Amino acid sequence: MRVSWLQILAKAVHLLDIKSCEV
């Protein structure tokens, strides 16, 4: 399984999105 920096970036943004929605 190859993890690209784009996937990592997308995952990070997704997590930030969830945190922003929770607040």
Phi, psi of 20 (to 5 degrees): -65, -35
pTM over 0.75: no
Q: Where are the alpha helices (DSSP H) in the chain?
A: 5-22
pLDDT by residue (tens digit) across 1-23?
588 999 999 999 999 998 888 77
Q: What is the pLDDT of residue 19?
A: 87
Neighbours of 20 (CB within 10 A): 8
pLDDT value of position 1: 59
